[in-house]
C-alpha cells in the first residue's frame, strides 16, 4: 500500500514549490484552524498574514500561538468570521494579498473554491497572485475566467491545487 502524504508533508511540499513567492508577500489564510499555515508563511518570509477563522475557540488558539511566538498583531491579524464574508470585508477595506491559502473542511471544499474565486473577482487576490486550495484528492477543481490551475500537488487522500490569477 503506498504511503499517503500527511497534511504537514503536503504543506511542506507546497511551501517548497512557492519558494521565493513568499518573500515579503501579504498572505491570507482562509479557514485558518490553528493558524499554523500563516505562521509558517511568516517564518518563511511573508511580510504579513491575516488569518480567517469563524470558530471563536480556534481563533483564540491562533491568538495564543501568535503571542507565544512574539508576533505582533500588525504582522499577524485575525478575523473571526466565515471565509467568504472575510473576503468581502477585505475587499471593502481595499486589502489585497499575493498569496491566499484556503484549507476548508473537506466536505466544504467547494466553498473554499468559491472564496478564492470571489477573492480574485474582488481584487483581494492581487494581480499575478497565487491561490492555494487544499481539497480531497477526487475534487473536480477547475479554473475560471479569473483563475487558472497552474499546479496540482496530489498523491493521497488530499491535494493542494495552486491557481494563478489571470
Cβ within 8 Å of residue 34, ≥6 positions away: 58, 61, 62, 65
In a domain, 38, yes or no: yes
Burial of 81 (0-12, 13-18, 19+ CB in 10 A): middle
Q: What is the CA radius of gyration of the chain?
A: 15
Select from 119, 112, 75 the least CA-distant residue to 97.
119
Question: Mind listing the pLDDT tens digit for each residue in 43-83?
Answer: 999 999 999 999 999 999 999 999 999 999 999 999 999 99
Is residue 157 over pLDDT 80? Answer: no
In a domain, 45, yes or no: yes
Number of domains, the chain: 1
Q: 41 in helix, strand or coil?
A: helix
Range of the domain at 34: 21-105+119-165
Q: What is the mean pLDDT of residues 113-137?
A: 96
In a domain, 113, yes or no: no
In a domain, 8, yes or no: no
The chain-wide mean pLDDT, for the chain, equals 92
Report pLDDT for 1.
34
Question: Mind listing the pLDDT tens digit for each residue in 75-120?
Answer: 999 999 999 999 999 999 999 999 999 999 999 999 999 999 999 9
Lookup: cell for 118: 470571489
pLDDT band at 166 (very low <50, low <70, confident <90, very high): confident
In a domain, 14, yes or no: no
Give the CATH number for residue 49.
3.40.50.150
Amino acid at each position: 500500500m503506498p504511503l499517503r502524504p500527511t497534511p504537514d508533508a503536503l504543506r511542506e511540499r507546497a511551501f517548497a514549490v512557492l519558494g521565493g513567492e513568499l518573500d515579503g508577500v501579504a498572505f491570507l489564510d482562509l479557514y485558518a484552524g490553528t493558524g499554523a499555515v500563516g505562521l509558517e508563511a511568516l517564518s518563511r518570509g511573508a511580510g504579513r498574514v491575516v488569518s480567517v477563522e469563524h470558530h471563536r475557540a480556534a481563533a483564540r488558539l491562533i491568538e495564543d500561538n501568535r503571542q507565544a511566538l512574539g508576533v505582533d498583531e500588525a504582522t499577524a491579524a485575525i478575523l473571526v468570521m466565515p471565509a467568504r464574508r472575510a473576503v468581502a470585508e477585505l475587499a471593502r477595506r481595499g486589502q489585497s494579498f499575493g498569496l491566499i491559502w484556503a484549507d476548508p473542511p473537506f466536505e466544504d471544499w467547494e466553498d473554499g473554491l468559491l472564496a478564492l474565486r470571489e477573492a480574485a473577482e474582488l481584487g483581494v487576490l492581487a494581480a499575478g497572485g497565487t491561490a492555494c486550495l487544499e481539497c480531497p484528492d477526487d475534487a473536480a477543481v477547475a479554473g475560471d475566467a479569473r483563475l487558472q490551475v497552474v499546479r496540482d500537488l496530489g498523491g493521497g487522500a488530499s491535494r493542494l491545487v495552486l491557481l494563478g490569477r489571470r
